[in-house]
Amino acid sequence: MTAALIVTEDPATADDLLRLAAAADAPAEVAGSVGDARAGWYQAPLVLVGADVAGGLAAAGPHRRSGVVLVARSGEGADVYRLALGVGAGDVAVLPGDEPWLTDAMAAAAEPADARGLVVCVTGSRGGAGASVLAAALAHRSAQDGLRTLLVDGDPLGGGLDLLLGLEGHEGARWPDLAQRKGRISAATLRDSLPSSGELSVLSWGKTEPVAVDPGAVRSLLDSASRGFDLTVVDVPRYLGDIGRPALRAAHTCYLVVPAEVRATVAAGVLAGFLRRETADVRLVVGGRPPGGLRPDAVARHLDLPSMGTLDRDRRVPPALEQGGLSRIARRGPLRDLCDHLLDAQSPAPAAPVKAA
């Protein structure tokens, strides 16, 4: 199937866009006239309209559709945005500066539209509740099952989830590299750019001061993740911030980890209200019960949330976290049992392979 329809009468523009399509492994077709463009207007996921034909195409009155990009060349002037409005373009790309963005857009258009993985968020009602441990263990267990899995660190002040899994030394992009990125990211580009081990990829923070994250970049990244991974697990801090809100809105499920304590349960009641406004499916995981603590069923009743199990205390966890050995202890024991139960409830399934960019 054609991924991109290129509409231009300019041979140089056509050649440049065909070159980018080849780099993206995206089948492309050139429509050399307005009539040809109208005939194939709805056939391709992406339509690239050259500025040289945009005026004529606008006069022909094409029906509005998503996935239209006006392609101009450097120096063609401010009139470009009027032309984009006329053809219903949602984006403007200027050659040669926007070639990387166009390559990613074509690669994304070539990906199967129905190949969508699950997005799951994990958050805790207080610091130390175990949400980050559960998020990392859930992602690790998913990857062990052969599922392409992405673990996203949503907390810029959390110290880095890559440390829990011993991946801090692996090469690849971190949040500062992607925080202000504009436009779509192809799934293959995202997978190739991140630190990984086997089927597990991690997007975490660097060891420098955190940077501001554009919510649009988060939405684009999660859209790409849902196309390129079978399961994406996002560790969301209690203060949702620029990453937490878009992640919750993209999530199929959010797991709220609540220690079996009175104060933690009261705090969870407030947080659950915020979560319900951002995502449709909030489920409870009760943390290890301290002596004299609440019963898990009492926590569930107070919060009026479906309980998915308990995150039992495990003496192996604290030293493993200090040594980046969470993956080792997640292979057996109560943490693995809980992760297996949560994965069974979600039933993520392997999707079609993602083509390399």
pLDDT band at 129 (very low <50, low <70, confident <90, very high): confident
Evaluate whether 261 touches 138 at the Cβ level (below 8 Å).
Answer: no
Burial 267-283 (b: 16+ CB within 10 A, else e): bbeebbebbeebbeebb
Amino acid 339 reads: C
Pairwise CA distance, residues 334 & 343, whole Å = 14
Evaluate whether 118 touches 348 at the Cβ level (below 8 Å).
Answer: yes
Angle, vertex CA 242, rays to CA 236 and CA 243, nearest 5: 35
What would the mean pLDDT of 53-67 be, rounded to a whole number?
87
Q: Would the pLDDT of 296 be above 80? A: yes
Q: Would the pLDDT of 352 be above 50? A: no
Q: Would the pLDDT of 322 be above 70? A: no
Q: Report pLDDT for 236.
A: 94
Q: Report pLDDT for 105.
A: 86
pLDDT band at 74 (very low <50, low <70, confident <90, very high): confident
Pairwise CA distance, residues 315 & 312, whole Å = 10
Judged by average pLDDT, the poorest of 27-36, 80-89, 103-112, 168-177 is 103-112
pLDDT band at 355 (very low <50, low <70, confident <90, very high): very low
Cα dist. 69→49, 132, 221, 321 in Å?
6, 40, 20, 47
What would the mean pLDDT of 34-61 be, rounded to a whole number?
89
* Sign of the torsion formed by the C-alpha atoms of 339, 251, 105 and 242: negative
- What is the percent of the chain where pLDDT is above 90? 47
Q: Report pLDDT for 357.
A: 39
Q: Would the pLDDT of 208 be above 50? A: yes
Amino acid 15 reads: D
What would the mean pLDDT of 20-31 be, rounded to a whole number?
91
Identify the three-state secondary structure at position 340: helix
pLDDT band at 356 (very low <50, low <70, confident <90, very high): very low
Domains of the chain in start order, with CATH, are 4-109 (3.40.50.2300), 118-346 (3.40.50.300)
Amino acid 166 reads: G
Query: For residue 119, which of 307, 285, 346 has the smallest C-alpha distance?
Result: 346
Q: Report pLDDT for 120.
A: 96
Angle between helical axes of 262-278 and 241-250 (0-180°, round to 10) = 70
Q: Report pLDDT for 282.
A: 95
Q: Report pLDDT for 354.
A: 46
Evaluate whether 38 touches 63 at the Cβ level (below 8 Å).
Answer: no
Evaluate whether 24 touches 107 at the Cβ level (below 8 Å).
Answer: yes
